Amino acid sequence: MGFIVNEKHLRGSVNSKNFRPLTSILLVDDVAPFRRTLRELIELRPEFLVVSEAGDGREAVRLARQYQPEIVILDINLPTVNGFEVARRLSAVAPNAKVIFLSMENSADIIDEAFRLGAEGYVHKSEVFELLSALDAIRKGNKFVSSSLGRRHPRRDQ
């Protein structure tokens, strides 16, 4: 299955040394205006492409199966199926997807659980401006924790 890509997402031809493959992203948050804002922020960078959005956990699993995104940006507190359960199910339906949790939760236990479930990143919603840094880190194979949370929970760069 391919993706329809408009011209703003192209960076040179396939033979060009400037060509950079797109990183496909699924956004999952129950607040539609917040998702729109995230999409606009992410798509400021031409190497990222939001392939779909979900407003609840059940829809997230279905869309992950359909689109096979490289990265899923996932809230924890979702209707129908919570974000932790979605992360568990992703290993079966989109095994190559990397998860960044984006949440208001800031307890060490919650963050530890996110990483136990295989998360590559954890961004606190109050620091949403760090999302692009998290995406860059994960694209390079590193892990990421928001700077304010990193004081209590060390950044897990590999």
Instruction: State residue 82's pLDDT score.
Output: 97
The single-letter DSSP state of residue 151 is T
Q: Where does the pLDDT of residue 21 fall: very low under 50, low under 70, confident under 90, or very high at 90 and above?
A: confident
pLDDT tens figures, 62-74: 999 999 999 999 9
Phi, psi of 26 (to 5 degrees): -110, 125
Longest C-alpha distance within the chain, in Å? Answer: 47
Please check the confidence at residue 104 and state whether its pLDDT lies above 70.
yes
Q: What is the pLDDT of residue 1?
A: 32
Q: What angle do CA 128, 131, 132 make, to 5 degrees?
A: 135
* pTM value > 0.95: no
Q: Is the pLDDT of residue 12 over 60?
A: no
Give the whole-number percent of the chain exceeding pLDDT 90: 77
Domains in the chain, start-ordered, CATH in brackets? 21-150 (3.40.50.2300)
The proportion of the chain whose per-residue pLDDT surpasses 70, expressed as a percent, equals: 82
d(CA 79, CA 76): 10
pLDDT of 98 strictly over 70: yes
Q: In angstroms, rounded to a whole number, what is the distance separating the alpha carbons of residues 17 and 3?
A: 22
Euclidean distance between CA atoms 22 and 51, whole angstroms: 11
